[in-house]
Amino acid sequence: MSTTFTLIGISAIAVSLLGYYFQKYGPPPPPKIAGIDLGTTYSSIAVFLPASGQTIVIEDKLGKKSIPSVVGFLGNGEIVVGTKAVEQQETNPSNTIYDAKRFIGKRFEENDPQFQMDRNRYPFTIKLDSEGFALFEIEEKGVKRLIRPEEIGSIIISYLQKMVLEFYGANIKEVVISVPTEFDQMQRTYTNKTVDLAGMNVRRIISEPTAAALAYGLHEKKGVEYIVVVDIGIIFLFNFLSHFVVKWVKFD
């Protein structure tokens, strides 16, 4: 009997030591949750590494951390995302969709002058369903079909998910995703649906300024009562640069 207890004790110690060894010297556990910025122009994904406490922004095969939010549908049925989609955009404009985020969870009216003006500036065809939600018309293998903005978003998210899989070998299923502050409940619901279509689960939806403040850890600093976050969108920045000459820039 004493021998049995001795063996059990030795086994328990061995398991504990083995666990300690792998925790200290073994490979770190793969990330289980990611943060996604599904942007109008660019998108990115970052993962939290529990062993080191670091958050790493993932690169794609081209070394890009900011992925163009562009999806191209080729004639042979292939779908390209990001930089590759941009590269073929000039020769395939009617089947290359961008700015899809602007249409997620929003209703439009066919006779609205603003919608008509916005629609006319895109090289691809935009239609409305019976409820006023946008649909993009694409052609694959000679057959035209309609695709929703959420489907475009899910293709981009799946691409980001694949980046993590290739980088860490981890198939991420849980995400926190950021949305613009002005997104209403319907837009947030459809953003959640976009993630669902990519086969992932939304743990939390946060506004983009909140995400920026959290990234800098401003909520943990003593004496900080109010935080001002300025979100300079890329479209605003392009307009700014087209009217002014920037002489000097400094970033903290």
pLDDT means per 10 residues, the chain with 252 residues, are 47 48 58 89 88 83 93 94 96 97 95 92 96 95 93 97 88 89 92 95 85 64 66 53 49 42
What pLDDT, on a 0 to 100 scale, did the predictor assign at position 18?
A: 46
The rounded distance, in Å, linking the Cα atoms of 83 and 62 is 8
The rounded distance, in Å, linking the Cα atoms of 209 and 181 is 7
Kind of pairing, strands 125-128 and 96-98? unpaired
What pLDDT, on a 0 to 100 scale, did the predictor assign at position 168?
A: 82
Active site residue 127: no
Specify the residue for token string 């009216």.
109
What pLDDT, on a 0 to 100 scale, did the predictor assign at position 229?
A: 63
Specify the residue for token string 């939010």.
69
Active site residue 101: yes
Element (H, E) at 203: strand 201-207
CB proximity list for 239: less than 8 A, separation 6 or greater: none
Which amino acid type is present at position 194? T
Specify the residue for token string 């406490």.
53
What pLDDT, on a 0 to 100 scale, did the predictor assign at position 106?
A: 95
What pLDDT, on a 0 to 100 scale, did the predictor assign at position 196?
A: 96
The rounded distance, in Å, linking the Cα atoms of 95 and 208 is 29
Active-site pick, 37, 60, 150, 151:
37
What pLDDT, on a 0 to 100 scale, did the predictor assign at position 48?
A: 80
Active site residue 231: yes
The rounded distance, in Å, linking the Cα atoms of 49 and 33 is 9
Asked if 195 contacts 202 with a C-beta cutoff of 8 angstroms, the reply is yes
What pLDDT, on a 0 to 100 scale, did the predictor assign at position 68?
A: 96
Specify the residue for token string 């602007």.
102
Residues pairing with 35 in the sheet: 46, 176
Q: Where are the alpha helices (DSSP H) in the chain?
A: 2-25, 83-87, 113-120, 149-168, 185-197, 208-215, 234-243
The rounded distance, in Å, linking the Cα atoms of 245 and 228 is 26
Active-site pick, 60, 101, 150, 151:
101
What pLDDT, on a 0 to 100 scale, did the predictor assign at position 250?
A: 47
Sign for the pseudo-dihedral over CA of 113, 119, 125, 128: negative
| pTM recorded for the entire structure | 0.78
CA distances from 119 to 122, 127, 179, 184, 211 (A): 6, 9, 23, 22, 31
What the block records as the tokens of 5 is 């207890």
Active-site pick, 110, 129, 166, 231:
231
Kind of pairing, strands 174-179 and 201-207? parallel
Asked if 58 contacts 65 with a C-beta cutoff of 8 angstroms, the reply is yes
Active-site pick, 59, 99, 118, 208:
208
Active site residue 60: no
